[in-house]
Chains A and B, each alone.
Chain A
Amino acid sequence: MSVTTDWQKSAYISSQAADARVNVELETEGMTLNIGPQHPATHGTLRIVVRLDGEQVVWADPVPGYMHRGHEKLCEVRKYPQVNTLVNRIDWLGSFANEVPFILAAEQLMGIEAPPRAQYIRTIFFEMSRIANIALFLGDMGVQLGAITPVFYAFRDREHVLNLIESATGGRFHPNYDRVGGLKEDLPKGWIDEAKDVMNRVRRFCDELEQLLVGNEIFQKRTRGIGVITPAVALDYGLSGANLRASGVDWDLRRDSESPLAWKHADWKVWTHPDGDSFARYWVRLQETREAAIIIDQLLDSLPAGPIMAKVPVKIKVPEGEAYVETENPLGAMGFYLVSKGDLSPFRVKIRTPSFNNISICPWLLKGVFVPDIITILASLYFILGDIDR
């Protein structure tokens, strides 16, 4: 199988052809354009240096690192409960989802498993982080393309989900709610009914955005056929989450990995789209938000009673060993490779963040596109800077 060489060749040939065409016909001059690090279209401090020939990109080079905080090094001098507060800051829009893979990795090494109620509540908050995170994308994608209204809808309805998270965990953005062996505390009284109302609201929000954006002709013109990623390339670059599924690869860790979390107890669907373009990525995320609301509804109905904390020693010492746990986070597959030497703090933590892989495709993907499409593609790949610069 020589997929890699094939597409590399074709990409090379097409970029050469594009250069030649622009040069001969328009006699344009090359120009280096610097986008960012402060640019509204880059969700943070991602800088992209593009070499242009006329309106067309010859090569593009993303420059991350303006926000690198050295999480992997810091994890080595923090104890396990302290690392939990640290990983909250990686993908700050869906913070709770960051805690889960780390806690699961520690639990796997310690050989303990949280009780079923805790697993259900974890899953519920995991999916709520997904809604809180992706809802912003759904509105923000409109802003990037010139439609201002959707983002106000997104902020309005995301607020309800954040309020839910806050009322149960005490933290709006950084809940720090997950513990090795269970959860910090149980759900407050009346929370379940409120959560159901909010889930209805989320579904209404998805319907609204579908009417507002997805059917919009300008939106379709700007996104359809822009930034097409084929499945083989997506797998080569380790794209994950909606970016991978929008390329037609049916891969979702919630369904396809053996996770102790409660997704297996709900009836839901993994959405894929065959096109692999920016529109497909938007569409898949929209469906995923709906699906998250469906999962939460079902889990709220079947929430088992019982304790929320397993028996865990006061001092959390993780036995020697290695574990890799990956979960399907809002942005894609997020994994923690945990190496323990039996101490109070991890020996080494490798944090596999989805946005890092998702953005590393940019040099390939942006080659040959026009300048306005850079914005579309970046918006549709959807990254959080803290998730790249961890």
Chain B
Amino acid sequence: MADETLTADAADAPEEVEVDSARAAVVEALGAQFGDAIVDSHIAKGDLWVRVAPASWAAVVRFCKDVLGFRFFDFLSGLDWLNNPDLSGEKVWDLDAEPTVAEPRILDRGYTGGDTRFQVFCRLINIDTHVGVTLKVDVDEAAPHLDTIVPIFAGADWHERETWEMFGFIFDGHPGLRHLYLPGAFEGFPLRKDFPLLSREIRPWPGLVDKEPMPGENVPESAAEGSLPDGADAALPKDEPKDEPKDEPKDEPKDEPKDEEDSA
């Protein structure tokens, strides 16, 4: 048994080093070809992130495909690094209060950093060496333009359409930026962080309304105020907390899953 584990360890260890060197080689090759256009890179947990300057986005993707052998197009999408308006997902919205979104905060932008609020990221896989790379590129907030990669990967067509309608990034040279999921008259860009998720804003999170204390836990004041006594009598005043959600102070989060929307 001891021998077995030893050999297993010995077999695992060099392989891991090898994979990492394979990823380092990708970064090196990109750096040699594009120099400063490869802004940053990060290798961790058997995965690779590379941030690219916007001007050479399409060129880098083409180089990855044609020279480095990343022939499998996995996906392309966008990121909005603006802080979540509601971090816990259980905030009770006070409609009379001043909007707090006035001071948007941007935390750090992931593994490879960034200069802008928006980023586009794209995943390519080399199916020969089993190395995957996540390419990231900054997108300017005022003029969110980026070169299309549809001529390189035809499969990026729908992904860029989706990113366009969800984030509002314009892919220059795309054969037809039309709505994919949303109806044509839809306004706004739903996956941006400042696009409100209305169902969560107009109605408090159900975990707040019918919250019960955990066994052995002291009943918090807020829960005692907001929640209702057990039993059948509770049926009538049940709407009360919904009418005046602002009176209910913010509560500590609750762990039990409550799936409210059941789609299927």
Contacts and interface: CB of A to CB of B under 8 A. Distances in A.
Interface string A77-109: 111011011100100100000000000000010
A238 B153 CA distance: 9
Interface in A39-89: 64-65, 67-70, 72-74, 76-79, 81-82, 84-86, 89
A1 B88 contact: no
Interface string B189-218: 011000101001000000000000000000
Interface stretch (A148-156, A204-212, A342-350, A367-375): A342-350
Contacts of A326: 74, 132
A258 interface: yes
A76 B155 CA distance: 27
B247 interface: no
A352 B75 contact: yes
Contacts of A350: 75, 77, 121
A73 B197 contact: yes
Given A70-B190, A335-B75, A79 B182 contact: no
B264 A173 contact: yes
Which of A65, A74, A236, A322 has the most chain B CB atoms inside 10 A of its CB? A322
B111 A256 contact: no
Which of B88, B181, B256, B258 has the most chain A CB atoms inside 10 A of its CB? B181
A324 B258 contact: no
B184 to A, nearest CB: 11
B139 interface: no
A275 to B, nearest CB: 19
A4 B259 contact: no
Interface in B68-123: 71-75, 77, 79-80, 84, 86-89, 107, 110-111, 121, 123
A76 B66 contact: no
Interface in A311-339: 314-316, 321-324, 326, 333, 335, 337, 339
A341 B154 contact: no
Contacts of B200: 77
Nearest to B65: A1
Contacts of B72: 235, 238, 251
Contact of A386 (B73, B191, B197, B263): B263
Contacts of A356: 158
Contact of B86 (A77, A81, A363): A77
Contact of B191 (A72, A239, A315, A364): A72
A69 B257 contact: no
Contacts of A82: 257-259
A357 interface: yes
Interface stretch (B31-39, B41-49, B140-148, B226-234): B41-49
B99 to A, nearest CB: 18
Interface in A227-247: 232-233, 235-239
Contacts of B18: none
Contacts, number: 153
B173 interface: no
Contacts of B177: none
Contacts of A73: 190-191, 195, 197
Given A81-B257, A339-B79, A69 B263 contact: yes
A345 B154 contact: no
Contact of B154 (A4, A76, A344): A4
B60 to A, nearest CB: 16
11 contacts: A65-B183, A68-B181, A76-B84, A92-B264, A173-B264, A335-B74, A341-B87, A343-B87, A344-B87, A350-B121, A357-B155
- Nearest 4 A-B pairs (CB), nearest first? A237-B155, A65-B181, A85-B259, A77-B89
Interface of A: 1, 4-5, 8, 64-65, 67-70, 72-74, 76-79, 81-82, 84-86, 89, 92, 108, 173-174, 176, 232-233, 235-239, 249, 251, 256-258, 314-316, 321-324, 326, 333, 335, 337, 339, 341, 343-345, 347-348, 350, 352, 356-357, 360-361, 363-364, 386, 389
Given A249-B127, A258-B46, A321-B111, 15 more contacts: A1-B66, A65-B179, A68-B181, A69-B261, A77-B86, A89-B264, A92-B264, A174-B264, A235-B127, A236-B155, A237-B73, A337-B123, A339-B110, A348-B79, A361-B155
